[in-house]
Amino acid sequence: MYIDNFLLYAIICAVVTSITAGAIGPFALLKRYSILAESLSHISLLGAVIGAVIGFGNIILSISVSVLSVVILEYIRKKVKLQMDAALVGLISGSLALNILIASIFGISSSSIISLLFGSLATVGIYEVIMISIVSIITLFGLYRYYQEYSVILFDEESAVVDGINIDKINLIMSLLLALFISISIYIVGALMISALIVISAMSAMIFRLELYKLMVLSSIFATISSIIGVLISYYYPLPVGSSIVIISISIFITLRIFIRKL
C-alpha cells in the first residue's frame, strides 16, 4: 500500500514523540510537574512565534526560550524565594500575552498560530523528523542515565540525601529534559496539547499500579496508539492533529478507568 511522504513523516514524528512523552510522563506526573509542562509549552510557543517573525530558526528558538525559562525558574526558586506555582502562572500569562502581542504587531496569520497551538501535519517535513528524533534520543538517554537517582528522589527524598544524590541537580536536569522535549513536540502535537498527552498517557498507565519502568513503557504504548490514530484522523479529515491525539488519549483513559473498576 502506498503511503505518501507527507503522512509518513507525520506518523514517524508522532510515534517518536509519543514514545518519549510516555517515558517522561510518569516522572512529570509523580513529581507534580504538570503545571511546569503546561508552562513550558506556552513558553516554547513564544520561541516559535519569534521564529515565524524573523523567518527562520523556529525550532532552535523554541528550544532556547524553553531552556532559558527553566534556568530562570531555578534562579527564582533559589534566590527570589517566590513560590514556584506563582512563578509558573506568571510565565504562562506573560508568554501568552507576548505571543498575542507579537502576532498582532507583525501580522502573523491566525492559521499559523492555530497550527502551533493545536498541531498541524502541514508543518511536518524531513527537517522536523530529524530534529524531533535527535531531541527524543537525547531526552530518552537522559531518562536512562538518571533513572536510578530520580527513582529514589520521587519516592524518598530523605534516602536520596543519605545516598549522596544531588537533588537540585537531578531536578534541574529533568526539568531541562522536559523543556527540551516539549519545545520540539509543539510542532506536531501543538503547544496547548503536548502537556495533555504527557500527563494523560501517564494517568492511563498508572491505573495499573506497576513499577516505574513498566509505567514508562505502558504510558509510551498508550501515547503511541493515541498519536497514530490521531494523525490518521487528521490526515483524512480536516481536524487539528493535536486535538485528535488528545481526544483519543482521553478516551483511552476513560475506557480503562471504567473497565478496570469493573474487574
Query: Would 18 be classed as within a structural domain?
Result: yes
**Of 18-27, 103-112, 231-240, which gets the smallest average pLDDT?**
103-112
Show the domain range for 26.
Answer: 5-135+178-262
What's the predicted TM-score (pTM) here?
Answer: 0.86
Query: Would 170 be classed as within a structural domain?
Result: no
Looking at residue 189, which CATH number applies to its domain? 1.10.3470.10
Q: Give the integer Cα–Cα distance in Å for 170 and 125.
A: 34
More confident of the two residues 54 and 200: 200
Burial state string for 47-59 with b = 16 or more CB within 10 A and e = fewer than 16 = bbbbbbeeeeebb
pLDDT in tens, 120-164: 776 778 888 888 899 999 999 999 999 988 888 887 777 888 888
Instruction: Report the Cα–Cα distance between both ends of the chain, in Å, rounded.
Output: 40
**What does the mean pLDDT of the chain come to?**
84
> Which range has highest mean pLDDT (34-38, 92-96, 229-233)?
229-233
210-238 average pLDDT score: 91
Strands (E), 163-263: none
Query: Would 56 be classed as within a structural domain?
Result: yes
> Structural domain tally of the chain?
1
Query: Would 51 be classed as within a structural domain?
Result: yes
Query: Would 164 be classed as within a structural domain?
Result: no
